[in-house]
Amino acid sequence: MKNIAYYEGRTSLIDEMMIPANDRAFYFGDGIYEAATVYNHKIFALDDHLDRMFNSAAIVNIKLPYTREEYAAILKDLVKQVDHEIQFLYWQVSRASAPRGHAFPGDAKPTLYVYSKPLEKVEMKDDYHLISVPDTRYFHCNCKTLNLIVNVMAADQAKSCGCQEVVFIRDGLVTEGSHSNIHIIKEGKLITHPLDNLILPGTERKHILRYCDQLGIPYEERAFSLDELKAADEIVISSTSQPFMRAISVDGQPAGGKDPEICEKIRSCYWAEVADLYE
């Protein structure tokens, strides 16, 4: 198939999939989601994504009906049916399909929606441009829910300014981007916001820290200011489909771009793991 969609046991092409209007994802954004890259019909870092999925479900009190192994089996089967070497895999679990009402329905049965489509390439660019915006989101950013309107509005603001991503600022400190984690490198050390309720625990963030351990690169998990970001040797943006992007400007001023060697070392660890999926 050229792409595939799945909803509660039914499969079709993405554009042909029908989902009930009573699904609470439609009414309230009442659900959680994950996204992963697929190489050679193998899902990259699937265990990490399932860990985060089950954690998100626990935070919002969605009682997942399947085991990790059952979810993994569904996802692995679906990506094998798409005729493309590299894919973008997305899945979400809503609380239920039930008549609209704010309180959780008593007989809630979570629904699973999945799609996978061809992805031309995974990007690692060196020319990202950023703008800083106030972080007006709520206090559960560590949960990967469907409630992303502030992120969407911020991403569109960045696009209208000719930038690729925003830098959310809360109480004077950098939290993350609209769809990514943000890190800095200063004097050979990587600095990243600690895991708390203000940022998403990104899977690529986790891998970057693991790569630093492998390479002997020191790192520190602490909040940093916008001024620190602008004065950093490197500004790194990480997400599933863009695992390690380098920024070269913030708010229209040049920034970063001073330590490409350390960046290439970390990137090489990612590509080495991708190569393992072809063996």
CB atoms within 10 A of CB 153: 13
What is the amino acid identity at position 116? Answer: S
Catalytic residue (choose from 2, 42, 121, 144): 144
Using CA atoms, how far apart are residues 85 and 38, in angstroms rounded to an integer? Answer: 8
Structure letter (DSSP) for residue 35: E
Cα atoms in the Cβ-side hemisphere of radius 13 Å centred on 139 = 0
- Compute the C-alpha angle 123/131/253, nearest 5°: 95
How far, rounded to the nearest angstrom, does the alpha carbon of residue 238 sit from its chain's CA centroid? 8
Which residues does 199 contact at the CB level (< 8 Å), separation at least 6? 141, 142, 175, 176, 181, 193
Using CA atoms, how far apart are residues 104 and 107, in angstroms rounded to an integer? Answer: 9
Using CA atoms, how far apart are residues 74 and 79, in angstroms rounded to an integer? Answer: 9
144 is catalytic: yes
Indicate which residues carry an active-site annotation: 144
